[in-house]
Structure 1
Amino acid sequence: MKTLTKIFLASIGVVFLAVKWSEPTFNAESLRGARVLVTGASTGIGEQVAYHYARFGAQIVITARREKVLSQVTEKCLSLGAQKALYIAADMASESDPDKVVDFALEKLGGLDYVVLNHIGPSPFQMWEGDVEHTRWLMQVNFFSYIQMAWRALPSLEQNKGSLVIVSSLLGKMASPFVAPYTSTKSALNGFFGALGHELALKKSNVSISICTLGLIDTDSAMEKVRAITDVPAYPATDAALNIIITGATRQPELYYPWMTYIATITKDWLPSATNYIMRNTYKYNP
């Protein structure tokens, strides 16, 4: 059994490397002057995405809730080489703010080439205890605002052969303890934008959709939650951000970062009992 498992995992690794080898070459110069909207850009992955776009000479609009922090990020973007860097403070739990953000970006940049939807609402890392209202609120922030912004931006993206980049999570592909509300929102993102990608392809749309499946990333908010509960390795936000940008720029439908997340999603279906055992023994639970 162990030998078969090793052969199976090795085969997956070979297939993954073959797929990566065949991906289009990233042309950094293609992002010079590109008009980009990045959400959840005050800290973490979104902040690093903004900095990478700035280094490539893009025109950027960023958004999050905290205006003071957004101002600091835009200043750094300009110092790194962004042709333009603007911000708009917004609360994605609001019904009107998602549209307001897209309209602001369209007005200030004159159109959009890339929309990177990355924002998330805070959610406790703990057993679910029946808080339906929090789950409903989180679904608004992590899911409904995404589809609202995507719909608002689609006409401009269509006109400019643009790319819609959705930052999702491994937890949207496989269930995990302590994150039931968060997992539900990421699963919804995967389902909706996977279906939308098919629909756009059937219509021969100019818009590409990239769904980015991320493992544990070393952002401050993530590490604060999991540090005492799991020893799963975390990967650098700046590297994750660069991979997200490259995936959108090369119009790839999916990103798995780090590459082991791809292995995890496959073994979940092929070896469900083993995957569940590993998942439940990855976390420390002291009732």
Structure 2
Amino acid sequence: MASLRILGALLAVLWAYYFYSQETFSEDMVQGKRVLVTGSSTGIGEQIAYDFARMGAQVVVTARREKRLQEVVQKCLDLGASSAHYLVSDMSNLTSARNLIEETKSLLGGLDHLILNHVGGTIGVGPFHGDMDAMMNSLTVNLLSYVELTVAALDVLRESGGTIVAVSSMCGRLPCPFSVWYSTAKFALEGFYCSLRTELRLRKVDLPITVAVLGYIDTDTAVQSMDGKVTMVASPKDECAREIVKGGVLRQREVFYPYWSTKIPLLLRDLMPGCMDYLIGRSYVVDKFL
């Protein structure tokens, strides 16, 4: 009972903070800004590109599929982007990732917002049997390419007073069975960006880093891989993208989406870990993975 009372009090404080401490977001903050969105041929990244385009940003989208990128660029222009370009890049190739920043700088003359959203390599879904090739593949795409892009962009973002947004997942905060490769990469990703953010602050370097912690989102990839295997309901990718854009532009430390279905489990993780383990188990239809 004491734990429940503590949880109730914390939720009340959290509710008050969330609804009364929000900064005002304006589309004028985005007009003309130079934005690179990775993993933007589909899913959340595609929606992020469209949100920036609607507000008149200069958008560069990147992924592996050129035809899809061409379609996304055309829609960005139709929505009102100041400019829109695409760059084909394979994030399993760290040299390709590194060169992407220089190519973006050549196109736009600089960079204001780096949105790191791509996902790939081995992300599951299935039992873990110790496949190290799969683990290294996942770490390369879902962690090391993020780091490579960040290192390559540090100077140009400092020059512009820009920001970094790293899209993470509840798989980087809570144990995710049957997605061990992906969860490992996301835990490491959060460690890198949270540590880097704190170090930059201590060094008095003005380069905000926003980490977006996402739940189950209705992207084609997520729904196809998890359909019938979990009891959770997927949240809309367009609304998710809007929250990520807003949080990044406002230089927020973290974005949680969907807010309550991510924050409450994280509170339970710390207050009642056994209960959280039970709830995680109840979220999976285990027979479907075996």
TM-score after normalising by structure 2: 0.95
Q: For the residues of structure 2 that align with 1:27 and 1:44, how far apart are their CA atoms? A: 24
State the shift of 1:67 in Å. Answer: 0.5
Q: For the residues of structure 1 that align with 2:231 and 2:158, how far apart are their CA atoms? A: 43
Residue aligned with 1:13, SS: helix
Query: In the alignment, what sits opposite 1:13?
Result: 11
Q: For the residues of structure 1 that align with 2:91 and 2:178, how far apart are their CA atoms? A: 23
Q: Conserved in 1, the CA contact under 8 Å of 2:58 and 2:81?
A: yes
State the shift of 1:124 in Å. Answer: 2.5
Q: For the residues of structure 2 that align with 1:84 and 1:90, how far apart are their CA atoms? A: 19
Query: In the alignment, what sits opposite 1:133?
Result: 133
Query: In the alignment, what sits opposite 1:254?
Result: 254
Q: For the residues of structure 1 that align with 2:205 and 2:16, how far apart are their CA atoms? A: 28
Alignment of 1:77-226 (within 5 A): 77-122=76-121, 123-226=123-226
Q: For the residues of structure 2 that align with 1:84 and 1:201, how far apart are their CA atoms? A: 33
Q: For the residues of structure 2 that align with 1:198 and 1:119, how far apart are their CA atoms? A: 24
Code of the residue aligned with 2:201 in structure 1: it is: A
Q: For the residues of structure 2 that align with 1:238 and 1:12, how far apart are their CA atoms? A: 29
Code of the residue aligned with 1:31 in structure 2: it is: V
How many aligned residue pairs are there? 285
Q: Conserved in 1, the CA contact under 8 Å of 2:48 and 2:242?
A: yes
Code of the residue aligned with 2:268 in structure 1: it is: T
Q: Which runs of 5+ in 2 are unaligned?
A: none
State the shift of 1:11 in Å. Answer: 2.4
Query: In the alignment, what sits opposite 2:264?
Result: 263
Query: In the alignment, what sits opposite 1:285?
Result: 286
Query: In the alignment, what sits opposite 2:55?
Result: 56
Query: In the alignment, what sits opposite 1:43?
Result: 42
> Which deviates further from its counterpart, 90-99 or 119-128?
119-128
Q: For the residues of structure 1 that align with 2:111 and 2:227, how far apart are their CA atoms? A: 38
Query: In the alignment, what sits opposite 2:72?
Result: 73
Code of the residue aligned with 1:86 in structure 2: it is: H
State the shift of 1:4 in Å. Answer: 4.9
Q: Conserved in 2, the CA contact under 8 Å of 1:120 and 1:142?
A: yes
Identical aligned residues as a percent: 38
Code of the residue aligned with 1:91 in structure 2: it is: D
Residue aligned with 1:139, SS: helix
Q: For the residues of structure 2 that align with 1:22 and 1:280, how far apart are their CA atoms? A: 35
Q: Deviations over 1:105-140 (max 9, x none)?
A: 111001010000000105221111221101101101
TM-score after normalising by structure 1: 0.96
Q: Conserved in 2, the CA contact under 8 Å of 1:9 and 1:263?
A: no
Residue aligned with 2:167, SS: strand
Q: For the residues of structure 1 that align with 2:208 and 2:254, how far apart are their CA atoms? A: 11
